Amino acid sequence: MVKLPDLCKEIATAILLPLLITTAWAQNAPPPKYSADVPSDITTPNSVETRIGTLKFNNGVPDQKTIQLVYDQIDFVRGIDAFLTGMAATSVYALCEGFGQAGFKRNQGIGITEDLMDARSLFLTPNTTTVYVFLCLDLKDGPMVMQVPPGVLGPVDDADFRWVTDVGLTGPDAGKGGKYLFVPPGYTGGLPSDGYFIAKPRTNTLLVFYRAFVKAGDIAGAVRDVKANAAVYPLHATTETGEPPTTTFVNTSGLKFNTISANTFRFYEELNGVVQNEPADFVDADTVGLFAAIGIKKGKPFAPDARMKAILTDAVAVANGFARTNLFASRDERAKIYTDRQWFTPFVGGSYLFLDGAERMLDARDMFFYYATGITPAMSMARVGSGSAYAVAVQDAKSNYFDGGKTYKITLPAPIPAKEFWSFVVYDNETRSLLETDQKLAGVDSTAPELKKNPDGSVTVWFGPKAPADQESNWIQTMPRKGWNVLPCCCVCTVRWSLGSIRRGSPGILSWSSSDHLAAGGPLMGWSGRAPAPPAREAGKGHLKTRSTRCQPSLILKSSSSVSISARTRFTWSVMTSVGRSCFGRGGHAGRWRPDWLTCGRA
């Protein structure tokens, strides 16, 4: 009788011996007759450590765990890429859907801000100083006519936010107004030979966004001009009298509706809505393939399983995180307008196509479509005498992000070179829409008759939770615990516009006037400063005027008191209030104190 341990040994030997013989033979076998010198960097090791885990292979073939890991990763990456590539299209989609919520669906009316824009309507970086006119067209059922009033300015963009044409001042009507005829992709029917500015876009959906300028504060007059001259209708549509159908206008001022694309899983549902409504080739084949790779295909339902939905939910969170980081902390040096100031451009390289030679600047494109709406060469390549010039700031002169609980200011030297208007508008960092405050317009602009100018013709714009004394008309309200950013616009600049930095300031105005008086007025947050000696042979008298009742400087300057400053004298002063902050000013000689040099800190 064979004992069990001996039997096990015999079985093991029977199994392992052939394997050992085969292995030894393989190791000592001569190379094949037709063998190559295979470099190690084209082979795959049996085990590879990566950021997604250990990948294992047997003679180059992945094991089951590796298969799962790499497919999860590629689906995740494609989900991110689909967000970044597709957010231009979903932005147009969200705008058109929002217009429908507001009461004017595609081809069925025109929206107009009869009482300007405010924060109740969610738009990416709108302006609050001009009357907006907007609508969406859908060309699936045939050509559409859009009649444009004289003197307006704006673009027409397609479903992927590609520029189609401008209307108004920078369009073919050159500001005279006229009829635009938009022809669907692949249309073979007859068209009028004259009387229209004809455009043939690549998509069914078109977004139209133009401004009607307010003259001398007459908003109602701008609205009347639009309603008297704007219209939209199908090419061959007529009433019983042979006239085009009447156009419906919807006043969107004060309406609560959203036009901003989602940054959750819903984003992919919006993207699917775009794909289903547009021609199969509305974008290039690679992009069509990218969308298809995550389950978004023309003519098929978008129905991801639980695994894919979880991956895409994760992907959109990371993609949105990148888009937000790319906007608020761009690593592209080309985005900077100045080397010594915090302004950057939403049109990197001055190209509305985001091209730098043969390079498509992907981060620049992502930045723009995450932050703004409306693409046109007139914005990206604004030339003297036409178009609009824009800049963005998210940080102050010290590279700190703007804090809604603190006060800032910027002074615009005279003359400000805006033929139509200039404006500063603040936006919520979270929504990129108008900052929600108790102030209706979230901005200031040159069309406001109450705007105050400094004695030299310059204008100081203030940002903060409370208005400086006598500066309400030049003040933009911000909210404590809310981050904000600002977008100035120079509409039809007559010369190149150069902006200084936005700096922390006090609600008091500090400057040397022509009479060599140092004046600080308003409810001070707390100031502390040192004025160095003026140049030789110069002397002046400084007057510190303040409404504060507490003055505790090393040299006490009570309200309306004055002190002589000689060429050998330095003085320090401070005014403390219950706010608990102080601003430190330094530099500037008698007769010329420069507010630009002020910086701030906590007391």
Report the alpha-carbon angle 254-443-118, nearest 5: 10
Binned at pLDDT 50, 70 and 90, residue 489 comes out as confident
pLDDT at site 25: 55
How far apart are the C-alpha atoms of 524 and 549, rounded to whole Å? Answer: 10
How far apart are the C-alpha atoms of 468 and 463, rounded to whole Å? Answer: 9
pLDDT at site 215: 84
324 domain residue, yes or no: no
Chain segment 250-287, per-residue pLDDT in tens: 999 999 999 999 999 999 999 999 999 999 999 999 99
Give the rounded percent of residues in the chain with a pLDDT score beyond 90: 65
Instruction: Indicate if 468 and 565 belong to the same structural domain.
Output: no
112-121, 432-441, 563-572, range with the lowest pLDDT: 563-572
The average confidence (pLDDT) of the chain is 82
Chain segment 148-190, per-residue pLDDT in tens: 999 999 999 999 999 999 999 999 999 999 999 999 999 999 9
Please name which of 506, 557, 499 lies closest in space to residue 345, comparing C-alpha atoms: 499
Please name which of 376, 487, 392, 460 lies closest in space to residue 153, comparing C-alpha atoms: 376
pLDDT surpasses 60 at 564: no
Residue-number span of the structural domain to which 470 is assigned: 375-504
Instruction: Indicate if 461 and 575 belong to the same structural domain.
Output: no
78 domain residue, yes or no: no
Place of tokens 């008298």: 541
Longest dimension (CA), the chain: 124
Tokens of 165: 């044409």
pLDDT surpasses 80 at 602: no
362 domain residue, yes or no: no
Regarding predicted confidence, which is higher, 581 or 335?
335
How far apart are the C-alpha atoms of 170 and 150, rounded to whole Å? Answer: 12
Tokens of 226: 């639009």
- Overall number of domains in the chain: 3
pLDDT surpasses 70 at 540: no
Please name which of 375, 294, 361 lies closest in space to residue 332, comparing C-alpha atoms: 361
pLDDT at site 266: 98
Binned at pLDDT 50, 70 and 90, residue 26 comes out as low
- Amino acid in position 233: Y
Regarding predicted confidence, which is higher, 210 or 7?
210
Give the residue-averaged pLDDT of 329-356.
Answer: 90
54-58, 464-468, 494-498, 562-566, range with the lowest pLDDT: 562-566
pLDDT at site 563: 35
Give the residue-averaged pLDDT of 432-446.
Answer: 94
68-82, 298-312, 371-385, 539-553, range with the lowest pLDDT: 539-553
Instruction: Indicate if 492 and 468 belong to the same structural domain.
Output: yes
Please name which of 205, 505, 163, 508 lies closest in space to residue 353, comparing C-alpha atoms: 163
pLDDT surpasses 70 at 571: no
Tokens of 22: 């085969």
Binned at pLDDT 50, 70 and 90, residue 350 comes out as confident
pLDDT at site 97: 98
Binned at pLDDT 50, 70 and 90, residue 330 comes out as very high
Instruction: Indicate if 518 and 560 belong to the same structural domain.
Output: yes
Instruction: Indicate if 111 and 246 belong to the same structural domain.
Output: yes
pLDDT at site 583: 32
pLDDT at site 16: 57
480 domain residue, yes or no: yes
Distances (CA, A) of 277 to 91, 206, 271, 298, 299: 15, 12, 10, 9, 9
Report the alpha-carbon angle 506-511-512, nearest 5: 160
How far apart are the C-alpha atoms of 6 and 279, rounded to whole Å? Answer: 75
Instruction: Indicate if 523 and 500 belong to the same structural domain.
Output: no
Instruction: Indicate if 491 and 563 belong to the same structural domain.
Output: no
Instruction: Indicate if 215 and 157 belong to the same structural domain.
Output: yes
Instruction: Indicate if 559 and 445 belong to the same structural domain.
Output: no
Last residue of a domain, one of 447, 477, 504: 504
Instruction: Indicate if 571 and 596 belong to the same structural domain.
Output: yes
Give the residue-averaged pLDDT of 426-455.
Answer: 93
156 domain residue, yes or no: yes
Instruction: Indicate if 453 and 594 belong to the same structural domain.
Output: no
Last residue of a domain, one of 227, 258, 289: 258
Last residue of a domain, one of 258, 282, 313: 258
Distance from the Cα of residue 215 to its chain's centroid: 28
185 domain residue, yes or no: yes
Binned at pLDDT 50, 70 and 90, residue 216 comes out as confident
